[in-house]
């Protein structure tokens, strides 16, 4: 299939979503918008469909996938919840929070999803397109970010096509995504302990499984966010050959947010990195971003982009 398929461009209207669902039902792969980034979806209960995600992305198969569900009820067929995980789900679902939970033995999930782990990562997205498609397919959908492995995550349909055109069956264009960076991932252990594995739009405290220590979320590998050029952080005075990404009072070729709004900066982060990658300038420089609130998640992605 690779290199030979014509990637269908679908609208976010009901006929477009019905077409997307039909492709997914028959085992295809479709890129769909979520409130964080675009995801490359396939039915999570079908091994061949899940294999197509790994193939299209060129993703190492030891890297497990997030499973997207429509409701807590659907999530409970796949994982064991305890009072702590139920509380997190009640507070933040639907929304940009992924829960890593003990997998149920009777969960109908392709083996490749968990990549050998006894857990499963579940997310109930808020985006109307993703929600409607899960409902129409009537099965949970595995969906990593819709980019070739090692490239910057996509926040528009064009970003998806930049690395996956001809490698996937379709993309639904739902416009730019709102949050702009990937969901917060938190593991809830059987004893109730919470461990934040990836910082994101939902602020839940310190990251315990750091990027450099024992990495339980293997997608946390540094090159995951690489824009393909050297990146310098905390820059106020760029060199002439650097594509400068500004923030607040520090100007640039583009700015994450002129007035220093961190939520806006998160939403624009990957679009700026895509612009920087596509520019003729050989290097990228980025203004300092405060380590407050969602600034932590932005700096987490920037440190990976720079390493
Ligand atoms: O916002 C998001 O989470 C987006 C949208 C599409 O939903 N998805 C996303 O997926 O960022 P991906 O595959 O790029 O990142 C998933 C992360 C990886 O770091 C992976 O290693 C980790 O989740 N992960 C998946 N299953 C896991 C598990 N059972 N235990 C620990 N980490 C897991
Ligand atoms: Mg990714």
Ligand 1 centroid distance, CA of 64 (Å): 7
Q: Could you count the other beta carbons within 10 Å of the beta carbon of residue 249?
A: 10
| Pair (248, 177) in one structural domain | no
| Pair (131, 268) in one structural domain | no
Last residue of a domain, which of 177, 198, 219?
198
Residue 260 predicted with pLDDT over 70: yes
CB-count exposure of residue 294 (10 Å: 0-12, 13-18, 19+): buried
Question: In a mutational test of the pocket of ligand 1, which residue from 53, 64, 67 has the highest number of ligand atoms less than 8 Å from its CB?
Answer: 64
Q: Which ligand is nearest to the CA of 65?
A: 1
- pLDDT the model gives residue 192: 86
Ligand 2 centroid distance, CA of 34 (Å): 13
| Pair (69, 167) in one structural domain | yes
Kindly state if the Cβ of 143 falls inside 6 Å of ligand 1: yes
Closest by CA position to 175, among listed 5, 13, 7: 13
Ligand 2 ion: Cβ-proximal residues, 5 Å cutoff? 145
Q: What is the pLDDT of residues 157-190, one digit of tens each?
A: 999 999 999 999 999 999 999 999 999 999 998 8
Is 216 domain-assigned? no
Strands 283-286 and 242-246: parallel
Residue 241 predicted with pLDDT over 90: yes
The number of the ligand 1 atom at minimal distance from the alpha carbon of 113 is 26
Q: Which residues contact 91 (CB under 8 A, 6 or more apart)?
A: none
Is 223 domain-assigned? no
Is 220 domain-assigned? no
Predicted confidence band of residue 63 (pLDDT cuts 50, 70, 90): confident
CB-count exposure of residue 176 (10 Å: 0-12, 13-18, 19+): middle
Q: Hey, which residues does 66 pair with through a beta bridge?
A: 121
Strands 141-142 and 39-43: antiparallel
Q: What is the pLDDT of residues 11-28, one digit of tens each?
A: 999 999 999 999 999 999
Kindly state if the Cβ of 114 falls inside 6 Å of ligand 1: yes
Kindly state if the Cβ of 150 falls inside 6 Å of ligand 1: no
| Pair (176, 58) in one structural domain | yes
Q: Which ligand is nearest to the CA of 148?
A: 2
Q: What percent of the chain has pLDDT over 90?
A: 84
| Pair (140, 270) in one structural domain | no
| Pair (67, 185) in one structural domain | yes
The number of the ligand 1 atom at minimal distance from the alpha carbon of 123 is 7
| Pair (162, 115) in one structural domain | yes
And the tokens for 82?
Answer: 């305890």
| Pair (133, 247) in one structural domain | no
Cβ-contact 278, 225 below 8 angstroms: no
Number of domains, the chain: 2
The number of the ligand 1 atom at minimal distance from the alpha carbon of 181 is 1
Sheet bearing 119-123, strands edge to edge: 8-10, 170-172, 30-32, 39-43, 141-142, 66-68, 119-123, 97-102, 184-188, 194-198
Kindly state if the Cβ of 155 falls inside 6 Å of ligand 1: no
Q: Hey, which residues does 98 pair with through a beta bridge?
A: 123, 185
- How far, CA to CA in Å, does 149 sit from each of 53, 61, 74, 146, 220? 11, 11, 29, 9, 12
Ligand 1 centroid distance, CA of 80 (Å): 18
291: helix, coil or strand?
Answer: coil
The conformation of residue 287, written as its DSSP 8-state character, comes to: -
| Pair (30, 150) in one structural domain | yes
- pLDDT the model gives residue 218: 52
- pLDDT the model gives residue 210: 45
| Pair (194, 273) in one structural domain | no
CATH of the domain at 194: 3.90.870.10
Is 222 domain-assigned? no
Residue 220 predicted with pLDDT over 70: no
Closest by CA position to 292, among listed 269, 255, 252, 263: 263
Cβ-contact 138, 41 below 8 angstroms: no
Range of the domain at 184: 8-198
Predicted confidence band of residue 209 (pLDDT cuts 50, 70, 90): low
Kindly state if the Cβ of 219 falls inside 6 Å of ligand 1: yes
């Amino acid at each position: 299939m690779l290199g030979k398929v014509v990637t269908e461009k679908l609208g976010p209207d009901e006929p477009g979503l019905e077409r997307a669902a039909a492709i997914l039902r028959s085992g295809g792969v479709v890129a769909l918008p979520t409130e964080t980034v675009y995801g490359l979806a396939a039915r999570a209960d079908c091994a061949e469909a899940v294999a197509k995600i790994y193939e299209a992305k060129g993703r190492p198969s030891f890297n497990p996938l997030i499973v997207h569900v429509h409701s807590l009820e659907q999530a409970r067929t796949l994982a064991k919840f305890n009072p702590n995980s139920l509380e997190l789900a009640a507070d933040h679902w639907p929304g940009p929070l992924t829960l890593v939970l003990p997998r149920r033995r009777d969960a109908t999930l392709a083996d490749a999803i968990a990549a050998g782990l006894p857990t499963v990562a579940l997310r109930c997205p808020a985006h109307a397109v993703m929600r409607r498609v899960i409902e129409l397919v009537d099965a949970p959908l595995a969906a990593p970010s819709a980019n070739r492995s090692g490239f910057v995550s996509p926040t528009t349909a064009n970003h998806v096509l930049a690395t996956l055109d001809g490698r996937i069956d379709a993309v639904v264009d739902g416009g730019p995504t709102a949050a702009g960076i990937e969901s917060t991932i938190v593991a809830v252990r059987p004893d109730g302990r919470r461990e934040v594995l990836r910082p994101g739009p939902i602020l839940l405290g310190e990251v315990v499984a750091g990027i450099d220590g024992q990495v339980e979320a293997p997608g946390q590998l540094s090159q995951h966010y690489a824009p393909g050029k050297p990146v310098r952080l905390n820059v106020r005075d760029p060199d002439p050959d650097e594509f400068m990404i500004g923030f607040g009072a520090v100007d640039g070729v583009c700015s994450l947010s002129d007035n220093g709004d961190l939520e806006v900066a998160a939403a624009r982060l990957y679009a700026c990195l895509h612009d920087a990658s596509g520019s003729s300038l050989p290097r990228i420089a980025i203004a300092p971003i405060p380590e407050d609130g969602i600034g932590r998640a932005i700096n987490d992605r920037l440190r990976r982009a720079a390493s």
